[in-house]
Amino acid sequence: MALTKTQCSKLERELDQQYKLLLEQVREALEKSENQQYVELIDRAPADSGDQATGDALADLNLAIIDRHVRELRDIEAGRARIAAGGFGTCIDCGGDIGFERLLAYPTAKRCVTCQRQHEKTYAHEGNPTL
């Protein structure tokens, strides 16, 4: 069953709220990228390799958080585009409806539950590093 206008409006508001929250989190993470602990570890003379590794790990963690948030922002923008184009709530794989409950839980969902399970089975190995 296709989404009603009321359901679509509710989901659009949810996407807007998530977008604002993520933007704030990105701003905070960028401000923390100048983390005082990291600066102290790097500027400490002489810095041992443990301090330097800890400082590098803190910087990498901040970058990973920012990267994750940016990907989520892009997903929200794509969801907004699907709303504008009238394709929101339609599975990109099978063309079936994505349930309203699923979209409430995960408003940027692009696939129905069945297709998402298949997608995860098919592509589960891609995120794992190999030697």
Residue 75 token pair: 């997903």
Q: b/e per residue, 8-20, with b = 16+ CB within 10 A?
A: bebbbebbeebbe
Q: Write down all domains in the chain, each with its CATH number in brackets.
A: 5-127 (1.20.120.910)
Q: Of 65, 81, 59, 61, which is closest to residue 15 (Cα–Cα)?
A: 81
pLDDT tens figures, 63-88: 777 888 889 999 999 999 988 888 89
Residue 88 token pair: 């929101």
| Band of residue 28 on the pLDDT scale cut at 50, 70, 90 | confident
pLDDT tens figures, 29-68: 777 766 545 445 445 554 555 655 666 666 666 777 788 8
Could you tell me which residues come within 8 angstroms of residue 100 by beta carbon, excluding any fewer than 6 positions away? 3, 7, 11, 89
Helix axes 36-43, 49-85, angle to 10 degrees: 150
In eight-state DSSP terms, residue 127 is: G
